[in-house]
Every structure is written in structure tokens, then in C-alpha cells.
A = this chain, B = another copy of it.
Amino acid sequence: MILTVTLNTALDLTYRVPALTPHTSHRVTEVTERPGGKGVNVARVLAALGHAVTVTGFAGGDTGRALRERLATEPRLTDALVPVAGATRRTLAVVDAATGDTTQLNEPGPTVTPAEWAAFLDSYEQLARHEGTTAIALCGSLPPGVPVGAYALLIRAARAARVPVLLDTSGEPLRRGVAARPDIVKPNADELAELTGSHEPERATRDARRRGAHAVVASLGADGLLALTPDGGWRARPPKRVRGNPTGAGDSAVAGLLSGLAEGLPWPERLARAVALSAATVAAPVAGEFDPTTYEDLLARVAVTDAVPAST
């Protein structure tokens, strides 16, 4: 079982409107609602790949109830979310049917109390120590009330339980988390630059490893992935430029890396899978989902090459 942690889960709403015009009134023509937050998205892709996944983090209020009801209908997903008194946040994507452009509105999320955080830590440590747990992903932003060093704590608990742990977050939670020596971090170009101060991917990736991460997999948008690991360095690139909606492409890459890790695949195969899943997500008509046919087609054609950067 793979465990994904989403401390700031969300009920993701999508509204379709004929055209978004600020300061006017709109009739929404189509409403979709689904469980969200980065770790939940990763779990959904892992489950689609055939893995059993347990989802933890927080959920509360009527939005939390809606999220859990929908999770319960998804195959291979186990809900281990910890209840909070506050209501789970909503995120709203308003899609302009005329242009296809999206306007995003994200609620901040409920404030987590110290007692709720302590209850989560208890539950997380049990899940991490469970003999069936093969890998852990820690994903996304922290809700108000959770200490900024939260991910460092969760990484140390995973390492104590001897379970490989991947971190995908940004800002100060990423900085603190990297120092706790996670097995993998997966920053995008902006997150990597914010962490290291360098906009040069190879230099920044090396720097991120020096800060404590055993392996760094940088997602570089259409340029694919750059990985520096204890086993070597690689670049993995999609065979062609894929057009579409990049929402969720990073989460699909995380799912590719984790599923490959759990299956014991060597790094080049994990990276190929992550790039193909990511590109198949960009190409899919529904944001955050991936098209299995596109995935299979791309998987065989991802170019993985050695990357042995000069030392700084």
C-alpha cells in the first residue's frame, strides 16, 4: 500500500460559464465536483495504475463530508483522513467556454488545532509503521495552524519506519522538509529556484541534493524531468510537445515516480513512466485525469538520457 498525505485537502469545483465578465452576473451551465488536494490527485492516479492507496490528511465540515463520500466510491482508495472541526476548503476553477481559459479561486482552508495535529501525527505514525506500507508521498501546502516544520517531522517518522518518502511542496515547508533528508523531492522550476536561489536547473538540482534530499527530480514543464539520484543522473523528455491543460501534470509525475519505486523499477523506467503520465495528463480533456491510451503510446517513446552535470 502506498500512503499519500494531503494536509490541505480540497473539494475541487469546476464551473463552466459561457464567458467570464467581471462585475456581471453569470448562469453556470455545468458544475463538477471532485475530491482534491495534491496528495488526493496523486492517489487517484496511483489507483488508476492498479496500486492500493491510503489517503490521509484532514477533512471537516460539509465540504469534508462531500469529499469523503466521493472518495468512498473510488476503487483501490482507502480513506484514513483525520476529522477536523473546521470545514475543508473549496477550490473553484471557472472555465470560460468561449476561450477555454480558467480563472482559479482557492479558499485558504480550515485552521487545524494543536489537538487535531496531534491526532493526525498519531494516526500517521501507525500508518507509516504498518507492514504493508511501501512508500509515502507528502504533498501540497500546509493549512493554517499546522507548524511550518510539519513535513520535516513526517519525513523523520517515515525514515524511522524505514519507508521511502517523497516530498512535493514549496516555500518554507519545502526548505525545512529537505533538511530532514527525504528520499525524493519533486520541485518544479519555480520551487527549485525559490529553494536554491538558482534559475539554472542542473546547478539548482545539485544544490537541492546538498541541502539534504537523497534524490531530486525537477519537473521542467515541456522539457520533462531532470533527476539527480544516488544511482546516477538522468534527463527524461516527452517525445513531442503535448498541448492541453497542465493542471495535475506534476501530481501525475509524482504518481509515476512512486509507483515505479513501489514496483522496484530502476530509475530510468520510473522517470519514463513519470514523464509519460504527466504528458498524458496535459493531453486529457478533464483537468487532472490522464488518458490511458496516450500514456501507453508515450511511455515507449520517452527519451531518457544520462545527465552527469559538471561539479560546481
Contacts and interface: CB of A to CB of B under 8 A. Distances in A.
Interface in A171-228: none
Nearest to A101: B23
A272 interface: no
Contacts of A61: 66
A136 to B, nearest CB: 28
A102 interface: yes
A102 B96 CA distance: 18
Contact of A25 (B62, B104, B108): B104
Interface in A106-152: 106-108
Given A22-B96, A96-B22, A105 B17 contact: yes
Given A62-B62, A62-B69, A69-B62, A26 B101 contact: no
Contacts of A63: 62
B22 A20 contact: yes
Nearest to A99: B23
A84 to B, nearest CB: 16
Interface in A45-94: 61-63, 65-66, 69, 92, 94
Nearest to A92: B92
Contacts of A26: 103-106
A24 B104 CA distance: 6
Contacts of A28: 105-108
A172 B264 CA distance: 65
Contact of A101 (B22, B62, B66, B96): B22
A22 B26 CA distance: 14
Nearest to A65: B62
A94 B102 contact: no
Contacts of A31: 107-108
Interface of A: 15, 17, 20-29, 31, 61-63, 65-66, 69, 92, 94, 96, 99, 101-108
Given A23-B96, A23-B99, A65-B65, 7 more contacts: A23-B103, A26-B105, A27-B106, A29-B108, A31-B107, A62-B62, A92-B92
